[in-house]
A and B are shown apart, each in its own frame.
Chain A
């Protein structure tokens, strides 16, 4: 999956997750990837947020002399990502390759992928069998939505679907628990 960011009022991208790690992102930096309706903040995209929060310190101070674009003074004066060359003519340029020796790179992007959020499948089937109303069935469909979005790399969407599935299960269980004493009282009154 590719990401676009807005940094210094300039749109940059597409980047892989690993390439993003070379930019001085904050939790407030606007970010977008395919599937999102609009720009969101880094804190709202689980895998980028994870990377920003677990970033090794050395990424912001690349060693000198490994990048032809960055002079010694420039690198010392400003974070590397501010030194963006005019990119209009080459929009798919991979930025800043060679900033760091391979060993200094952050962990491969595979390590930055968050765990798949729970799809609550077991809970959904149990709710369908134990309780009333077809709410558990809705949760079953959201369970597959969690899997599909996660597989496509839409981690924020998967998380949202997971929350939806959980919500439907909680609704189902709550209604069931309310229904139990309610119906008992009615039946007891009817027997009087």
Chain B
């Protein structure tokens, strides 16, 4: 997925609009945000459930709410940002790139995702 300049601009614009929407409206009250289809179908929380509400909380500086709605984001977002950075800086920092794309990180992500899915469906949010 090589991104051209136009695509980056379009994705950036869409991102800004979405951020504004998530800032202005609370997904747990406003009726027009899409509910998680996995939750709708199965009744169980998927690893991504609550991300919209968490984003709303974060945009309002509510860190407690951020963790409450989807705690995996606390680890997941920095992880994704670090991997994205390592991919962009592959030429300059090849060792950082191979470290972030190693099987340790992949295994960590896989275990974290599975663990989080099981955990959050057994125990209620811990904060």
Given contacts A179-B37, A184-B34, A188-B32, contact A129 B106 (CB under 8 A): no
User: Closest B-chain residue to A170, C-beta based?
Assistant: B1
**B80–A129 contact, CB under 8 A?**
yes
A130 touches B32 (CB 8 A): no
State the CA gap A49–B21 with chains docked (Å).
49
Main secondary structure, interface of B, reads: helix
CB pair B87 A118 closer than 8 Å? yes
List B contacts of A180 (CB < 8 A).
34
Q: Is B4 an interface residue (CB 8 A)?
A: no
Tell me whether A191 and B87 are in contact in the complex, defined as CB-CB below 8 angstroms, given that A125-B79, A133-B37, A140-B113 are known contacts: no
* B residues contacting the other copy or chain, number (CB 8 A): 34
Question: Are B106 and A130 touching (Cβ within 8 A)?
Answer: no
CB within 8 Å of B: which of A124-158? 124-126, 128-134, 136-137, 140-141, 143-144, 147-148
**Pair B34/A134 contact, Cβ less than 8 Å:** no
Collect the chain B residues with CB atoms within 8 Å of residue A12's CB: none
Provide the B98-121 mask, 1 if CB < 8 A to any CB of A, else 0.
Answer: 001111011101100110000000
- Known contacts A125-B83, A128-B47; is A144 also within 8 Å of B110 by CB? yes
Chain A contacts for B46, CB-based, 8 A: 132-134
**Which residues of chain A are within 8 angstroms of B35 by Cβ–Cβ distance?**
183
Closest-by-CB residue of A relative to B55 is A130
Chain A residues with Cβ below 8 Å from B102 are 147
Asked if A166 lies at the interface with its beta carbon under 8 angstroms from chain B, I say yes
User: A166 contacts which chain B residues (CB < 8 A)?
Assistant: 1
Q: Using A133-B46, A191-B31 as known contacts, say yes or no to A121 and B101 having CB atoms under 8 A apart.
A: yes
Enumerate the 10 nearest inter-chain pairs by beta-carbon distance, A residue then B residue, closest first.
A122-B83, A183-B34, A132-B37, A144-B106, A180-B34, A129-B76, A129-B48, A122-B84, A126-B80, A140-B110
